[in-house]
Amino acid sequence: MTLGPADTREPAEILSTGDRATWSVTAPSILTPRRRPPDRVAFGMVRTLFDRPRWLEPCHLYDERGSLLFEEICELPEYYTTRTEAAILEREAGTLMSLAPVECIVELGAGFSKKTVHLLKALSRARGRGTFAAVDVSATALMASRSMAEELFPELAFTGLEARFEDAITSITPDIPKLVVFLGSTIGNFTPTDMLHFFTHLCDHMGPEDYLLLGVDRIKEPEIIERAYNDSRGVTAAFILNAFTNVTRATGAGFRPEKITYRSSYSRARERVEMYGIATETHRVEFPRHSASFVWEKGEGILVETSRKFDPDDLQVLLRSFGLESLGHWTDPKRWFSLLLFRRTAPSGGMEPK
């Protein structure tokens, strides 16, 4: 597919022709899948809370307040990942775009796209035009990303997709060669099974000329990792606990903020940080819209988010089984973070992740 000048393209062109009718415009240049009934959305939020152990999907962290809190986390001195990854991108963006000669960047979990600026700058310099599609569940984040792109890169066509990863991946056209960007070690939020499903789904929908840029946080001294998720200002705690406020607002649940505290811990065996809301006293949480409730015992945790750490060499070997050929690996002087570039080469086979 030949791309025309940026100002002649409609936002929907990033979507496959057959999928465009399933999306609606919610704001200029921002699309979202046509909504499921609100009761089904609420049920999706509630169901995991009745598992044992109880947990929440991390996407519930990103309402408007959650998105702003996460941006604040990224500026914290203890939270090394954002500035480390940004420094690698600033240094290597030109090389990355030369190895992935595309005119379209699709960013999964875009947030405010502050780090992606380096790739967009390299794309603009190398091609003089192109498309940037930002995918995020947060409308707040997408509007900030849109403002950045319109101000700094008017020569690039912007589309925001307010959606979960799987919905966007299914609908984005394979006919435009693209660089799929998945930064911030967001892949670390997935369980091993979820990671298997994610890469299977992604690779099944990538086109023959597509590339993947993956940012991963590396295994390192536990003390460094633990400080990053238990900052002295308590911003991470506020971010994790805000998920309960978001679920309460969406479902009518009876969570009591004054009875919940934050706890994080690093599991060396699982090589991941686990972030919980902990009940400070036993109490019943009611879900009146669903005629359901559960007793939240004092000291019991509800898992809100995990952040897994990786050996980048092992990860590259794993991703070969999905038909992803490694083109490059870049890291920082401390070897705390890695950027991995892959090219789609063959149908995915899949392998059980470690």
Q: What is the Cα gyration radius of the chain? A: 20
DSSP string over 260-296 = EEEEEEEETTTTEEEEEEEESS-EEEEEGGGTEEEEE
pLDDT at 38: 54
pLDDT at 354: 45
- Side-chain-facing half-sphere of 29: CA atoms under 13 Å: 22
- Check: CB of residue 112 under 8 Å from CB of residue 139: no
Q: Domains in the chain and their CATH numbers?
A: 6-20+81-219+310-344 (3.40.50.150), 38-72+222-308 (no CATH)
pLDDT at 10: 63
Reported as a pLDDT band with limits 50, 70 and 90, residue 3 is: very low
pLDDT at 353: 45
Least confident of 12-21, 156-165, 213-222: 12-21
Mean pLDDT on 229-246: 97
Kindly report the pTM of this predicted structure. 0.91
pLDDT at 166: 94
Angle formed at CA 89 by CA 158 and CA 13, multiple of 5 degrees: 20
Reported as a pLDDT band with limits 50, 70 and 90, residue 39 is: low
One-letter identity of residue 185: S
Mean pLDDT on 88-93: 98
Per-residue pLDDT tens for 294-308? 999 999 999 999 999
Per-residue pLDDT tens for 340-354? 999 998 654 444 444
pLDDT at 215: 98
Mean pLDDT on 58-79: 95
Mean pLDDT on 228-257: 94
pLDDT at 62: 93
